[in-house]
Amino acid sequence: MNDRLTCILCPAGCELEVFDQGDRLEVRGNECDKGIGFAESEIRHPLRNLATSVPLQGTGARMVSVRLSGPVPRERIFPVLEAIAGLRPEAPVRRGQVLIPDVLGTGVDVIATRTLE
């Protein structure tokens, strides 16, 4: 066995055992075929999403919640988080507003999830 994963695609939370056979993965413990796709994605091309909040410019205390428009490769999460950390959007901010388009060339936008006047 090469890896153990918990499939998070449904509440069953199957514990997957993944054996790397080189050109393919052998997956055990999945109760449905979605678990195979989940394991392949996690092993071959793991993606992550994130949600956080940043201060509104000039306020210090009022926070704007933000998230990514889609997942990015797992190894890009911390650089993306650093790019978001320097963000200080000006009011007003609208829910769904793109605050950083194509963050770090990932093809994913940072968007506001809350409206602040």
Q: Is residue 14 close enough to count as binding ligand SF4 by CB under 6 A? A: yes
Minimum distance from residue 31 beta carbon to ligand SF4 (Å): 4
Out of 1, 4, 12, 91, the only residue in the binding site for ligand SF4 (CB under 6 A) is 12
Location of structure tokens 């509104």: 56
Minimum distance from residue 27 beta carbon to ligand SF4 (Å): 9
Output the residue with the shortest Cβ distance to ligand SF4: 35
By rule CB under 6 A, what string of x and - marks binding of each residue 24-63 to ligand SF4? ------xxx-xx--x-------------------------
Q: Is residue 67 close enough to count as binding ligand SF4 by CB under 6 A? A: no
Taking Cα atoms as reference points, which of 82, 9, 75 lies closest to residue 52?
A: 82
Q: Which residues pair with 27 in a beta bridge?
A: 18
Kindly state the tokens that stand for 72: 């990015």
3-state secondary structure 30-97: CCCCHHHHHHHHHHHCCEECCEEEEECCCCCCCEEEEEECCCEEHHHHHHHHHHHHCCCCCCCECCCC
Instruction: Provide the binding-site residues for ligand SF4, judged by CB under 6 A.
Output: 7, 9-10, 12-14, 30-32, 34-35, 38
